[in-house]
Amino acid sequence: MNEQSMVERIRRLPPDRQQAVEQFIEDLERHTQAEPRRHNPMGLCADLNEHITAEEIDEARHEMWGNFPHDDI
C-alpha cells in the first residue's frame, strides 16, 4: 500500500476514527524514538571490504593461543 492510498483511506474515515489513527501514529512515533538503535556488527565493518573466512579465524586463534600453557586436569 502506498502513501497516497493510505491518505485516501484515512480521509474516508469518520472524524473520530481519523483522530484514533492520529493517536496511533503518535504512539508509534513515541515508541520508535524510545527504542535504542541496534547495529549489526557485520554492517559496522562492511565498508572495509574485508572477507575473513572461518578457516582464517581458526588459524589466527591457533597462532594466538597455540602455545598457551594448559593445566592438565
pLDDT tens, residue by residue, 62-71: 888 888 887 7
- Domain contains 56: no
- Domain contains 70: no
- Domain contains 16: yes
- Domain contains 7: yes
- SS3 assignment for the chain: CCHHHHHHHHHHCCHHHHHHHHHHHHHHHHHHHHCCCCCCHHHHCHHHCCCCCHHHHHHHHHHHHCCCCCCCC
pLDDT tens, residue by residue, 14-39: 999 999 999 999 998 888 776 666 66
pLDDT of residue 72: 66
Domain, as residue range, for 22: 3-34
- Domain contains 68: no
Q: What's the domain count of the chain?
A: 1
- Domain contains 46: no
Residue 51 has pLDDT above 70, yes or no: yes
Q: Is the pTM of this model over 0.95?
A: no
